[in-house]
Amino acid sequence: MSRKPAEEEVIKIGFVGTLSGDAANYGQSELNAIELAVEEINNDGGINGRQLELIPEDGKGEAQAAVTAIQKLINIDGVKVVLGGTTSAETLAMAPIAERNKVILFSSYASNPAISEAGDFVFRNGPRDDDAGRFLAQLAFDRGHRKAAILAESSDVTIGLRDVFKEKFEQLRGKIVSDELFGLGEKDYRTQLIKIKASNPDLIFLGAYSGITGGLAAKQIREMKIDVPILSTWVFSGEDALKSAGSAAEGIIFEDVPVLDLKNPKAKIFVDKYTARYGQPASDWDAGASYDRVYIIADALKKCGENTECIRDYLYGLEEYDGVIGKYRFDSNGDVVGIGFAIKKIINGKPELIE
């Protein structure tokens, strides 16, 4: 009896993430965690005796690169599941293609609200921008700020955050005294900061796409002697922002996805394994969420094979997944339920949990 070709014995899954550019450290952390999970699953016998084969592609944080990547994964490699993207731009661009081909698209870090309506085959286990925007606006108001200026980078992620922050802050009877954007990847913000300084805010909401731009913006804010508090986002959890900002990072308050609870044995084991192999990830939480993604999909594959309609229904029907990042499920839009936010502050040059 002849054996089938080895290629037919594997289950191929794709990864599309930001492996180059300013946010590459996040995409690489995701890929590291995914590779770790795939290796573990294969060493434990795979999926009903079949090995997983991971095929990674660089989405570059850009829509067109992500489109090219997912088309290659579907049309040439024949994958039925794509883990990605790292960014909302990647995920939003890939979603129609995944939907049309009935391919599962599963992200951990893409947070634009529009992803909720992107299709029945699109899922994420990270929170949405609009929830973060409302959270930050409420935090600003509760801390006594009434005149906020906005400095935001022109990306899908940060524009979504900025829009919801602005709407919520005004609903709370706060005033947006200046609303300034800068181009994606731009490194000089002095024109915008002149306007912000003239508006006399009591707070600056800084929405940056990457740690590099976020850190540079914070540095220029302080160089221009704008001494009001800075409220920002998760980018300040990474080394890129801290290096770019230098001493200007001190005191910045930002929202972040939850800190991994190291009292959770799964989280502790994962962090120890990841750190021993790769060193510190750009984000412990994002790496943990990416690790969870593989195991969730593995469970679905064991039940459904590569029938993606069955996998889709399995994910929607998941009552609760007990993973590295906590206990959660998915709602009718494929969004995560059970994962919230943390508040951190840069203290003595390091992010510290304050709430």
CA angle 190, 229, 177 (to 5 degrees): 65
Q: Is 134 in the same domain as 214?
A: yes
Query: Of 215, 233, 256, at which residue does a domain stop?
Result: 256
Q: Is 46 in the same domain as 101?
A: yes
Q: Is 162 in the same domain as 182?
A: yes
Residue 276 lies in a domain: yes
Query: Of 256, 289, 321, at which residue does a domain stop?
Result: 256
Residue 316 lies in a domain: yes
Q: Which residue type is seen at 204? A: I
Residue 344 lies in a domain: no
Q: Is 135 in the same domain as 245?
A: yes
Residue 83 lies in a domain: yes
Residue 280 lies in a domain: yes
3-state helix vs strand vs coil in the chain, percent to 5: 50, 20, 30
Q: Is 51 in the same domain as 84?
A: yes
Q: Is 88 in the same domain as 174?
A: no
Residue 175 CB partners (closer than 8 Å, separation 6+): 146, 147, 148
User: Domain of 276: which CATH number?
Assistant: 3.40.50.2300
**pLDDT, tens digit, for every residue of 279-288?**
999 888 899 9
Q: Is 244 in the same domain as 319?
A: no
DSSP 65-104: HHHHHHHHIIIII--SEEEE-SSHHHHHHHHHHHHHHT-E
Reported as a pLDDT band with limits 50, 70 and 90, residue 3 is very low
Question: For position 8, what pLDDT does the model report?
Answer: 59
**pLDDT, tens digit, for every residue of 117-167?**
999 999 999 988 778 899 999 999 999 999 999 999 998 778 888 999 999
Question: For position 5, what pLDDT does the model report?
Answer: 40
Rounded distance between C-alpha atoms, residue 338 and residue 331, angstroms: 10
Residue 58 lies in a domain: yes
Residue 352 lies in a domain: no
Contact 80/306 with Cβ under 8 angstroms?
Answer: yes
Percent of the chain with pLDDT over 90: 81
**pLDDT, tens digit, for every residue of 10-24?**
999 999 999 998 889
Rounded distance between C-alpha atoms, residue 332 and residue 318, angstroms: 11
In sequence order, what are the beta bridge partners of 326?
323
Q: Is 248 in the same domain as 276?
A: no
Residue 159 lies in a domain: yes
Percent of the chain with pLDDT over 70: 98
Q: Is 136 in the same domain as 92?
A: no
Residue 348 scores a pLDDT above 80? yes
Reported as a pLDDT band with limits 50, 70 and 90, residue 354 is confident
Q: Is 12 in the same domain as 105?
A: yes
In the chain, how many domains are there? 2
Q: Is 224 in the same domain as 154?
A: yes
Query: Of 231, 256, 281, at which residue does a domain stop?
Result: 256
* Boundaries of domain holding 10: 6-127+262-337
Nearest residue to 352 via CA among 251, 205, 206, 202? 251
Contact 123/329 with Cβ under 8 angstroms?
Answer: no
Q: What is the dihedral of CA 271, 274, 275, 279, to 10 degrees?
A: -140
Residue 202 scores a pLDDT above 90? yes
Question: For position 57, what pLDDT does the model report?
Answer: 98
Q: Is 119 in the same domain as 209?
A: no
Q: Quick one: tokens of 301? A: 């594959």
Q: What is the pTM of this model?
A: 0.76
